């Protein structure tokens, strides 16, 4: 294996991704978190995970969305401001507490699934 690319939302969260990064480092394998066309929350989490391991290689920044005609609303609209900020050719960690993002309640409510009434 040349590069390890776990996704925080599919690989067991922060703790498991850090375990994967540490194990990869023991075998001199670089860590490059996989974001794909994930949500804005996933992107913010991956940015923080990118800053942590010493074997970090590169952050996968997807410029495209689901398609050219349709944006991924859980990537572009679910947060009030994108976690992905650039300065002088570098990506910056989101500022603020936690993941450094603020959720947009209007968009969340639009896509919220009420498990109590689903399928009725």
**Is residue 45 a part of any domain in this protein?**
yes
Q: What is the pLDDT of residues 22-47, one digit of tens each?
A: 999 999 999 999 887 778 888 889 98
Domain span at residue 83 reads: 13-111
- Tell whether the model's pLDDT for residue 77 goes beyond 70: yes
- Tell whether the model's pLDDT for residue 5 goes beyond 70: yes
**Is residue 60 a part of any domain in this protein?**
yes
Indicate the number of domains in the chain.
1
**Is residue 86 a part of any domain in this protein?**
yes
Q: What is the pLDDT of residues 78-104, one digit of tens each?
A: 888 877 788 898 888 888 888 999 999
Q: Please state, in angstroms and rounded to a whole number, the distance separating the CA atoms of residues 100 and 87.
A: 17
Q: How confident is the model at residue 2 (pLDDT cuts 50, 70, 90)?
A: very high
Q: What CATH number is associated with residue 57?
A: 3.20.20.120
pTM above 0.85, yes or no: no
Q: Which residues contact 1 (CB under 8 A, 6 or more apart)?
A: 24, 29
């Amino acid at each position: 294996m040349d590069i390890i690319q776990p996704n925080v939302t599919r690989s067991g969260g922060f703790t498991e991704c850090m375990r994967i990064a540490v194990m990869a480092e023991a075998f001199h394998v670089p860590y490059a978190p996989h974001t794909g066309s994930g949500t804005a929350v996933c992107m913010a989490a991956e940015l923080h995970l990118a800053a942590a391991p010493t074997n970090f290689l590169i952050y996968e920044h997807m410029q495209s969305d689901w398609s050219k005609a349709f944006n991924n609303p859980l990537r572009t609209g679910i947060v009030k401001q994108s976690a992905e900020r650039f300065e002088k050719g570098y990506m910056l960690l989101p500022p603020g507490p936690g993941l450094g993002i603020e959720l947009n309640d209007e968009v969340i409510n639009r896509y919220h699934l009420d498990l109590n009434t689903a399928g009725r």
